[in-house]
Amino acid sequence: MTLVALTGATGFIGRRLMAELPRRGYRVRVLLRRPAAMPLQCDSAVIGDLARPQNLTAALRDVTAVIHSAGLAPGMSGTPADDYRTINTEATGALARAAQRVGVRRFVFLSSIRAQIGPTSPVVVTEAAEPRPADAYGASKLAAEQELAGLDMDWVALRPTLVYGPGVQGNMAALIAAARLRYPLPLGGLTARRSLLALDNLIDAVAHVLDAPGPLRRALIVADDEALSVAEMIAALRAGLGRRPGLVAVPQRLLTSALDRVGKAEWIERLCQPLIVSSAALRRLGWAPKVATPAGLAALMRDTERAPELPV
């Protein structure tokens, strides 16, 4: 059985990878910061801090491929420019160089769509355009990809758009909480579509590039097929509870003004502006998403049905 090394095994994406990879015939060695967090499914574990790499070469001995899903996400740091550079760029480079030294066949890096583009785009986003990250997080992911490109080793950087699945946090968790409320929402007039990615589709993409014929040595955007508006997302989530959409069409300018007044101006771009991406390059390698976005959102809502209601 192929032995792969996995970082970030206790995170949102890493936990699902840890559960799925053994079912797909892989042995997994996890690289962890704390021994108490060791997953039961792993074949072996190495304890250490990627920010202070020590003896990574020994940790990767006999490993065929590395899946690097650990990293610092937006909102997790008080000094993002420095911390993103240390964790997302420098630690990735150190891990990849160690992998190269021991002859690892392929390095799979969980990057981000933010390495390609900012939070919105008026045109469909592909890898053919010059990357233009709009913040320190995206810049750190792009810099990590550039570190990989400078090594004599096969690699692939997956650039997922917003991922949804059980245990999701951040913006998607806020949308789920809103959808669970029992009164109508003033979001029916929002028509800008945004690409999402089911966690199961991302896991399939990781497994696919692990075995894809190489060399790859490139970044690949990953997303579900169908982009949805926020109104359509709410409708799909509520459908998972057997409820009607319950949406009211409020003029966008009024909604924007209301968000600005309550100190939520950062939501305006995410609600009112599009971000549609294309996974055509990854599809040409034979991958295809199995989960359709509306069905995936409905299933996610059913999974969270027993969560406590938010106070109204």
Whichever domain contains 159, its CATH number is 3.40.50.720
Q: Cα-flanking dihedrals φ and ψ of residue 12, to 5°?
A: -55, -50
Of the CA atoms within 13 Å of residue 26, those in its CB half-sphere come to 24
Global confidence as pTM:
0.91
Q: Is residue 94 part of a domain?
A: yes
Q: Which of 205, 194, 148 is nearest to 13 (CA)?
A: 205
CA distance 107 to 67: 6
Q: Is residue 285 part of a domain?
A: no
Supply 156's token pair: 């692939």
> Computed from CA positions of residues 90, 33, 136, 280, in that sequence, does the dihedral angle turn out positive or negative?
positive
Q: Is residue 283 part of a domain?
A: no
Q: Is residue 296 part of a domain?
A: no
pLDDT in tens, the chain (312 residues): 799 999 999 899 999 999 999 999 999 999 876 665 555 565 555 555 665 656 688 889 999 999 999 998 886 545 578 889 999 999 999 999 999 999 999 999 999 999 999 999 999 999 999 999 999 999 999 999 999 999 999 999 999 999 999 999 888 998 999 999 999 999 998 899 999 999 999 999 999 999 999 899 999 999 999 999 999 999 999 999 999 999 999 888 888 887 778 777 667 777 788 999 999 999 999 999 999 999 999 999 998 875 544 443
Q: How many residues does the chain have?
A: 312
Q: How many domains does the chain have?
A: 1
Q: Is residue 278 part of a domain?
A: no
Q: Is residue 192 part of a domain?
A: no
Q: In this structure, how many other beta carbons lie within 10 angstroms of the beta carbon of residue 208? A: 18
CA distance 282 to 47: 33
The boundaries of the domain holding residue 47 are 2-164+197-223
CA distance 90 to 312: 45
Q: Is residue 82 part of a domain?
A: yes
Supply 225's token pair: 């097929």
Q: Is residue 259 part of a domain?
A: no
